Amino acid sequence: MDPKAKKVSTIQNVAVFGYADASENGELFKSVREVSRKLAEAGYTVVDGGGPGVMRAATIGAKEGGGKVIGVTLYSEDIPNFEGRDPKNLFDEEIRTTNYVERTLALIKTGQVYIVFNGGSGTISEFGMAWGLAKLYFGHHKPLILYGKFWENIIGAFKANMLLRPQELKVYKIVDSPDEVLEAISSFAQEYKVGQLQQAQAQESSFTI
């Protein structure tokens, strides 16, 4: 089957979040690369943070699939533990931001669907903000795809210990393969009004830091 046949016409940009220190020889890097290649082959544009690790893997995979990549970057000299721009991350279009919070908001605004891979506190913060916005805009929200079976344990802990509303458990899907990513995007488009996502969250562009 032609992979492009699976593309959802109302979705173009898919944002990828994950560990900046992922090794090129590791399974995480390889998984991100393969997922991004599949996304590009299907006709989606990949969005990442322009840095190393998972971000560079996303760019490499998308370019291997003949696709376009948008890098949302931050050049900072006063955040010693921030990975910053990776010169090896050869994306096509750049969105420059001036601080970390603005960068996170720009990533969330630019993506229409989010794929969250394994990562550290930075990935957790991106996941948390995206999840919170999905709850607020439930019904015409931007959905999350959580990549990897380990997410079942994490979500299970949230269910057991946090005070969650029912809709908060309906805005994500847990997947474990590139094909399941494409299937999840198609499924979300059928379940919710994905075509209205940018309009519903247009107010994000008015945020000031």
Token pair recorded at residue 140: 């015409």
Name the average pLDDT for the chain. 89
In a domain? residue 209: no
In a domain? residue 2: no
> DSSP label at 44?
P
> What local confidence, expressed as pLDDT, does residue 125 receive?
96
Instruction: Provide the terminal-to-terminal Cα distance of the chain, rounded to the nearest Å.
Output: 46
- Using CA atoms of 190, 195, 200, 204 in order, give the dihedral in degrees to the nearest 10: 110
Task: Convert 27-61 to b/e letters by CB count within 10 Å (16 or more is b).
Answer: ebbebbbbbbbbbbbbbbbbbbbbbbbbbbbbbbb
Domain of 64, CATH number, reads: 3.40.50.450
Helix (H) or strand (E) holding 29: helix 27-42
pLDDT tens figures, 10-33: 899 999 999 999 999 999 999 999
In a domain? residue 1: no
Flag whether pLDDT at 182 surpasses 70: yes
> What local confidence, expressed as pLDDT, does residue 86 receive?
82
Q: Which residues pair with 73 in a beta bridge?
A: 96
Q: What is the pLDDT confidence band of residue 81, given thresholds at 50, 70 and 90?
A: low
In a domain? residue 24: yes
In a domain? residue 208: no
In a domain? residue 117: yes
- Its pTM stands at 0.90
Flag whether pLDDT at 2 surpasses 90: no
pLDDT tens figures, 90-142: 999 999 998 899 999 999 999 999 999 999 999 999 999 999 999 999 988 99
Rounded to an integer, what distance in angstroms lies between the CA atom of residue 157 and that of residue 161? 6
Helix (H, G, I), strand (E, B) or coil at 110: helix
**Mean pLDDT over residues 59-87, rounded?**
87
Rounded to an integer, what distance in angstroms lies between the CA atom of residue 10 and that of residue 60? 25
pLDDT tens figures, 24-64: 999 999 999 999 999 999 999 999 999 999 999 999 999 99
The domain in which residue 25 lies consists of 9-203
Please tell me the total count of domains within the chain.
1
